[in-house]
Chain A
Amino acid sequence: MKKGVIAKTPKQALTRSCSKQTDLSAWKASALQMTGRRNEQKLSKDKQQTTSENADPKQDSLEEALSYLKKAKERTPLKNEVLQKHLVTVEKIAQEKGLAPEELDFLLNIALSGKFAEVVSTRLLKNLVPTSAITADSVTSAVSWLCVGKCSRTTQMLFLKWLIAMFDFIEQKEQVNALYGFFFSLLQDEKLFPFACHVLYLITRKKNVKPFRVRKLLDLQAKMGAEPPLQALLLLYKNFSPEMVSITLPTKTKIQFKNSENPWKMAISNIKRRLCGAPPASQPSLINTACPQTRKRKWNNKLVLPACSVQSSCSAVSQRTHHIDLIVHSDAFPVEQLQTFPQLLENIHCLELPSRIGSVLANPLLLHYVNCVSDDSVYRRMYYWMGQTLREECPWHKFENQPFELEFKDFLRKIFEAECFLQEGFSSCEEFLYRSLPFWDGYSCRSQVLQLVTWIPLSTFSEMKSYLFKPLAQLFFTSSLYFKCSVFESLREMLLNWLNWHLMQTDTTTKLNADLLNTTLSGLVSSVADLIHFVGWLSTVALSLENNSAFLMHFILDFYEIVSDVYLKYNLPLVVMPPAGVFYTALLSMDSVCLDHLCYIMHRYRANLISAKQNLQAKKTVLQFKFSSQTCQEYNQYITAMVGCLWTSNVFQKDFHHQGIHMDPEVLEKTRVKGYRKSFNIVYHPALTGYAMLFLQEAQPEDKTPNFQLIQGRRWEWYLEYLYSQELRGLKLFIESSIHRASQRSQTQTSK
């Protein structure tokens, strides 16, 4: 165990320095390290072996087994005990610790050379679990064995499966890509066909897409029908060069490759578990990709650029082409050499994204690139990879992932950051949320999941309701106050994202968004309106469940602050008033901040409605204006109640809202509250009496018992000034805009 970790240290250092993309010196250092890496690795391994020769008997037995396998005669009978013994050793070590690149290479050769019986080959192949990486040379030699035809079809199939499973571990993928023709020829074989498709799907680059290959694939499709793997491959081809593939393909195929649980995955996760041990208890979230040291790079390397992939081939190419032509050189710019923004600008025409598409997520430069390429294939690759990873790593879908919750959190966080960067949600992430929220316990990765929810793109509400809002609401009702608040927070963010998206749409109509534009404005408006109504319903219920908590109210009012300004600020023809359950609770709240916030929101509603009405009269507005006389009426009722409450002290008579606080004088007399009429004006309102008290103390310090009745006439004005000076800006805006002081002054003074 120990040995494996130590042998890997140089690599770890390498990844960490690489992740600092802008640091050139770090890059140089890592490049140096890269060249020296192999030697170093060997060195450290040798060192380790000499120091702990006796401490590691397993290592010796593996070497023994390997040398036996090397020397053993061809076609050694299966029942040979020595053979069996050595096979067991290999199996055991491979499953426990994994194999080093050289060991792996050796065993792969043995397995594919057909030296032993097929059963043995199968056993060996099934145990080819790498500890660090697989060299491209191993793959090349393996392929050469396949060409010789020494092994059976089943073994070949198993090899392809292995290759697919291990694809992320292969170094120098350029070299594997050179074998493209060979893998393509495997398509002929019916049994190998789906796996060959998958391999090709993984290694295809733009340069591989040739007319003769397209023709062949189309022939195959005509022969075999629309097989999902073939369709996926064709789609990829079409993405690379649409002009060659003229047929129409279903664009939204779900999972194109059957990815049944393969025998290696288990072993890998076992080794991973053993090496990491328990995940670090509370790792403060690191900003860059630097993994905590306890983690082993190779298992977490999905987000790291494959730094060493093209190194050797690239240097050769650059030497050769240096004096010939720059254009030839610009065939492909290795992404791992991309360090600065100017570099990106210079090479943007010849960038080729890394084989490990996930590394793009953690690289802001590549995200810039992804953001501006019109190439659909990037998204398709991302979609496939991300969907797969999310499915497999999700801790509440697969319980065995539970110990790696921290890593998953980190992964989700990175997706979220990339989404923020791109200002766009990933569709695979959306699907993941839809699929997994019903089973979510509401605890694991809570903040990350709720963050991801905010980037769910706008779609028809009925769809979202059953997949997203239904499970979310169920969790919401049974969860704590804090969960409720964070749900409101993320729904608010979601609304903001939708509105911003709409703003962008009206600003720019690029080709990229053409298909998105199909969602007409009326569809958008009704979706947004539905979301607002849903939140209104949710907040009414939440307030009654949480005993009108002021804390919760802040989050709800934050949401409505955006809603009130949808028309003016986001140019969306929509005005939706908050439900009575929210309005009256805020109006009669004990908390001055809530009241102030409500005042501000009502002020914004007023501004929006007035401008909407003006535009309506000037016929400037669009036809689908979702703003009816009902909204206006509702606003008027609210404003009457509010003015009656805070200012004119006649709310119990003048409130006409059917859920309002209109009450008959007889009923109010029975309560025996003195001066009930004034009990909610700005002096007596439970949220503001504190201010009134302080005001009186300041005005008349000698009076021990504050007499609120003194606040009238000129003092009323002073008191108002005092309130304004206490940062109650919403109240100020509201009173200044919605109350006509001049006409009402006499009235208010008589009412006191």
Chain B
Amino acid sequence: MSTLAAFGKLPTLNSATILLVGTNEIFQQQLAETILQEKQDLKINIHLADSLPLPPERDHIRPRIDLIVFMVNMQSKHSYSNIEASLVHVDASFFLGKVCFLATGAGRLNQISIEVNAVLKLADLYCSPVLFCELECEKIRIATAQRLLRMLRICAGHMSGVSALSFSSLMKSSIGDSSFLA
């Protein structure tokens, strides 16, 4: 079983790589296109996968992955279990701030098949944040793409003074303890 390592490769100059994992190809494709449409001063590589592990044969040409986004479709149990299975193939060092969950479809509460709490719990288990969004709506997709790009820049080390680890601890400190209180 090959795991995806966070620091296994050297970073490439002026570029950042994001990996979208999810079962809904249309959403993945749309989101990827939206991300690429955003104006950036660095090169963005997007890799799409429906599950992990990634095929080993092309591993040598694949750049270092800076951020993995797990797209959970709240309306499909399959997508959830698929993500759960994929998470096993991710090296622990990734969870130091280079993973995030994207929950889609939470807006259709009557059609929901996974509990919101289950997703929150999963994310908590893997120390990663969850973003809620409806990808069908273009404006929200753009807003989500911008949020992901911000995280990507930090994860790829393009934001001076902020590392992926410090960022994830920020996101968590707003979740858990009261560290920001004097």
Contacts and interface: CB of A to CB of B under 8 A. Distances in A.
Interface of A: 261, 395-400, 402, 438-444, 462, 465, 469-470, 473-474, 477-480, 530, 533-534, 536-538, 541, 544-545, 547
Interface in B107-155: 107-110, 116, 129, 131-134, 136-137, 139-140, 143-144, 146-147, 150-151
B108 A441 contact: no
A474 B107 contact: no
A538 B180 CA distance: 9
Given A397-B109, A439-B106, A478-B150, A534 B180 contact: yes
Given A399-B136, A473-B171, A478-B131, 9 more contacts: A397-B107, A402-B134, A402-B136, A462-B178, A470-B175, A478-B150, A533-B180, A534-B180, A534-B181
A474 B174 contact: yes
26 contacts: A261-B110, A396-B106, A396-B132, A396-B134, A397-B107, A397-B109, A399-B136, A402-B107, A438-B132, A439-B132, A440-B132, A441-B131, A441-B132, A441-B134, A443-B140, A474-B175, A477-B170, A479-B147, A479-B150, A480-B146, A533-B180, A534-B181, A536-B182, A541-B170, A544-B162, A545-B162
Given A396-B107, A474-B129, A465 B140 contact: no
Contacts, number: 82
Nearest to A466: B175
Interface residues of B, number: 35
A442 B109 contact: no
Contacts of A547: 160
Nearest to A532: B182
Given A537-B180, A544-B162, A399 B107 contact: yes
Contacts of A261: 110
A399 B108 contact: yes
Nearest to B147: A478
Given A441-B143, A444-B140, A544 B150 contact: no
A389 B145 CA distance: 30
Contact of B167 (A400, A442, A477, A537): A477
Nearest to A472: B174
A543 to B, nearest CB: 10
A536 B137 CA distance: 35
A398 B137 CA distance: 13
Contacts of B42: none
A331 B161 CA distance: 70
A530 B180 CA distance: 9
B85 interface: no
Contacts of B136: 399, 402
A395 B107 contact: yes
A265 to B, nearest CB: 11
Given A441-B134, A474-B174, A398 B107 contact: yes
B159 interface: yes
Contacts of B182: 533, 536
Contacts of B133: 441
Given A469-B174, A534-B180, A544 B137 contact: no
A400 B111 CA distance: 12
